[in-house]
Amino acid sequence: MTEGRVRQILERVTRTESQRAQAQVRPLGSLLVPSDGLVIFLFDGTADAIRDAAKTAEVPFDRIVEVHHIPTRGSTGLFGGL
């Protein structure tokens, strides 16, 4: 997986969601580990909405898990203050 491919996938999700009457998923970015071919896509939304958007936009995934970001003291947050 390359950075360019990841960007294409995220753009596809954004386009897919913008065509819905009410967007339920917001792409937040991704974490790419090129040496392992691993990508962790980050989305805001319910698991069901993310699964639906990922399938519609043909995002490759093995599973969908909930995460909680816990920033260090004084940090503004890795994901823009989430």
Q: What pLDDT score does 71 carry?
A: 79
DSSP state of 72: P
Confidence of residue 64 (pLDDT cuts 50, 70, 90): very high
Radius of gyration, CA atoms only, the chain: 13
Q: What pLDDT score does 19 carry?
A: 84
**Total structural domains within the chain:** 1
Q: What is the CATH number of the domain that holds 34?
A: 3.30.70
Q: Which amino acid is at 35?
A: S
Domain enclosing residue 61, as ranges: 1-82
Q: What is the mean pLDDT of residues 12-36?
A: 88
Q: Are 17 and 23 in contact (CB under 8 A)?
A: yes
* CA within 13 Å, CB half, 72: 0
Q: What pLDDT score does 68 carry?
A: 85
